[in-house]
Structure 1
Amino acid sequence: MRLLIADDDDYTREGLKESIDWEQYGIHDVLLAGDGAEALRMCTVHRPNIVLTDIRMPKLNGIEFAEKLSLKSPGSILIFMSGYMDVEYLRSAIKLSAVEYIEKPIKLADVEQAILKSVRALEEKQAQSSVYKQKNELVRQKLAGLLCDEHADSEELLRLCQETGFPPYKRYISFIVKAPSSDLTSIIGDWRGYGIEAIGEQLDRKLCFIIVACQNDEYKQLYSIIDRWLSKNGACTVAIGEEANGMNAIPDSFRTARRALDRSFYEPDVRCLRSNTVEDTGGNDWYNGALPAFYKLSKDNPEGLSEWLAELFASMRRKRYPAKDKAVALLDTMAHSLLGDNRKLVETLANEHGFAEAGHYLKKCETLDNAELFMHAVLSVWMEEKRQSSGYSRLVQEVMSYVAANYRSIDLDLTMIAGHMHLSTSYLGKLFKEETGTSIKQYISDYRIDLAKKLVENEQYKMHTIAELCGFASASYFVKVFKAATDLSPMQYRKKS
Structure 2
Amino acid sequence: MRLLIADDDDYTREGLRESIDWKKYGISVVMLAGDGAEALRLCTIHQPEIVLTDIRMPKLNGIEFAEKLSLRSPGSQLIFMSGFMDVEYLRSAIKLSAVEYIEKPIKMADVEQAIFKSVRALEEKQAQGAVYRQKNELMKQKLAGLLRDEHAVLDEITRQCRETGFPADKRYASFIIRSRNEDDEAYVDLEPITKEWNDNGFIAIGEQLDRKHCFIVVACQSHEYKQLYTMINRWLNKNDRYMVAIGEEANGIKAIPRSYLASRRAMDRSFYDSDTRCLLSGEEKSSPNEWHTGALPEFYKLSNSNPEQLGEWLETLFASFREKRYPAKEKVIALLDTMAQMLLGDNRKLIETLANEHGFADAEHYLKRCGTLDNAESFMLAVLSVWMEEKRQTSGYTRLVQEVISYVAANYRNVDLDLTMIASHMHLSTSYLGKLFKEETGTSIKQYISDYRIELAKNLVENEHHKMHTIAELCGFASASYFVKVFKAATDLSPMQYRKKS
Q: Same fold by TM (over 0.5)?
A: yes
Q: Is 2:263 the partner of 1:218? A: no
SS at structure 1 position matched to 2:210: coil
Q: Partner residue of 2:254?
A: 248
Residue 481 of structure 1: how far off its partner (Å) = 5.4
Q: Distance in 1 between matches of 2:468 and 2:18?
A: 71
Residue 309 of structure 1: how far off its partner (Å) = 0.3
Q: How does 1:309-320 map to 2 (within 5 A)?
A: 309-320=314-325
Distance 1:330 1:104, change over 3 A: same
Q: Partner residue of 1:197?
A: 203
Q: Partner residue of 2:33?
A: 33
Residue 337 of structure 1: how far off its partner (Å) = 0.7
Q: How does 1:1-20 map to 2 (within 5 A)?
A: 1-20=1-20
**Segment of structure 1 superposing worse, 291-300 or 442-451:** 442-451
Q: Partner residue of 1:122?
A: 122
Q: Distance in 2 between matches of 1:489 and 1:168?
A: 69
Return the letter of the residue paired with 2:392.
R
CA displacement, residues 57-110 of structure 1 (integer Å, 9 cap, x when unaligned): 333333333322222222223333444445444433333333334444444444
Residue 200 of structure 1: how far off its partner (Å) = 1.9
Q: Is 2:403 the partner of 1:379? A: no
Q: Partner residue of 1:421?
A: 426
Q: Distance in 2 between matches of 1:404 and 1:329?
A: 25
Q: Is 2:79 the partner of 1:70? A: no
Q: Partner residue of 2:194?
A: 188
Distance 1:121 1:408, change over 3 A: closer
Distance 1:109 1:392, change over 3 A: closer
Q: Distance in 1 between matches of 2:236 and 2:328?
A: 25
**Segment of structure 1 superposing worse, 356-365 or 84-93:** 84-93
Contact 2:266 2:284 in 1 (8 A): no
Distance 1:75 1:465, change over 3 A: closer
Distance 1:389 1:169, change over 3 A: same
Residue 362 of structure 1: how far off its partner (Å) = 1.2
Q: Partner residue of 2:395?
A: 390
Return the letter of the residue paired with 1:55.
I
SS at structure 2 position matched to 1:200: strand
Distance 1:493 1:232, change over 3 A: same
Q: Distance in 2 between matches of 1:289 and 1:44?
A: 74
**Segment of structure 1 superposing worse, 291-300 or 414-423:** 414-423
Contact 1:287 1:322 in 2 (8 A): no
Q: Partner residue of 1:281?
A: 287
Distance 1:407 1:126, change over 3 A: closer
Q: How does 1:284-433 map to 2 (within 5 A)?
A: 284-433=289-438
Q: Distance in 2 between matches of 1:84 and 1:464?
A: 79
Return the letter of the residue paired with 2:53.
T
Q: Distance in 1 between matches of 2:103 and 2:488?
A: 93
Distance 1:433 1:220, change over 3 A: same
Distance 1:8 1:411, change over 3 A: closer
Q: Distance in 2 between matches of 1:353 and 1:427?
A: 39
Residue 410 of structure 1: how far off its partner (Å) = 4.3
**Segment of structure 1 superposing worse, 246-255 or 474-483:** 474-483
CA displacement, residues 225-259 of structure 1 (integer Å, 9 cap, x when unaligned): 22222222232333322222222222222223333
Number of equivalenced pairs: 496
Q: Partner residue of 1:155?
A: 155
CA displacement, residues 160-188 of structure 1 (integer Å, 9 cap, x when unaligned): 22222122212222223334223222222
Distance 1:45 1:380, change over 3 A: same
Distance 1:87 1:486, change over 3 A: closer
Q: Distance in 2 between matches of 1:297 and 1:355?
A: 25
Return the letter of the residue paired with 2:65.
F
CA displacement, residues 465-484 of structure 1 (integer Å, 9 cap, x when unaligned): 44544445555665665566
CA displacement, residues 120-165 of structure 1 (integer Å, 9 cap, x when unaligned): 3333322322222222222222222222222222222222222221
Q: Distance in 1 between matches of 2:154 and 2:8?
A: 60
Return the letter of the residue paired with 2:60.
L
Return the letter of the residue paired with 1:33.
A
**Segment of structure 1 superposing worse, 457-466 or 187-196:** 457-466
Residue 313 of structure 1: how far off its partner (Å) = 1.2
Q: Distance in 1 between matches of 2:247 and 2:208?
A: 17
Distance 1:5 1:477, change over 3 A: closer
SS at structure 1 position matched to 2:275: coil
Q: How does 1:474-485 map to 2 (within 5 A)?
A: none
Q: Distance in 1 between matches of 2:363 and 2:421?
A: 28
Q: Distance in 2 between matches of 1:406 and 1:374?
A: 24
Residue 464 of structure 1: how far off its partner (Å) = 5.0
Distance 1:472 1:68, change over 3 A: closer
Residue 451 of structure 1, aligned match among 456, 460, 464: 456
Distance 1:49 1:486, change over 3 A: closer
SS at structure 2 position matched to 1:30: strand
**Segment of structure 1 superposing worse, 121-130 or 423-432:** 423-432
Distance 1:134 1:459, change over 3 A: closer
Contact 1:407 1:471 in 2 (8 A): yes
Contact 2:487 2:493 in 1 (8 A): yes
Q: Distance in 2 between matches of 1:480 and 1:111?
A: 74
Contact 1:51 1:77 in 2 (8 A): yes
Q: Distance in 1 between matches of 2:89 and 2:405?
A: 101
Segments of structure 1 that go 5 or more residues without pairing to the other structure are: none
Residue 304 of structure 1: how far off its partner (Å) = 0.9
SS at structure 2 position matched to 1:317: helix
Give the structure-1-normalised TM-score.
0.88
Residue 279 of structure 1: how far off its partner (Å) = 5.3
Q: Partner residue of 1:167?
A: 167
Distance 1:10 1:313, change over 3 A: same
**Segment of structure 1 superposing worse, 20-29 or 330-339:** 20-29
Distance 1:487 1:162, change over 3 A: closer
Q: Distance in 2 between matches of 1:352 and 1:135?
A: 47
CA displacement, residues 360-382 of structure 1 (integer Å, 9 cap, x when unaligned): 12112222222111111111122
SS at structure 1 position matched to 2:371: coil
SS at structure 2 position matched to 1:244: coil
Residue 24 of structure 1: how far off its partner (Å) = 3.2
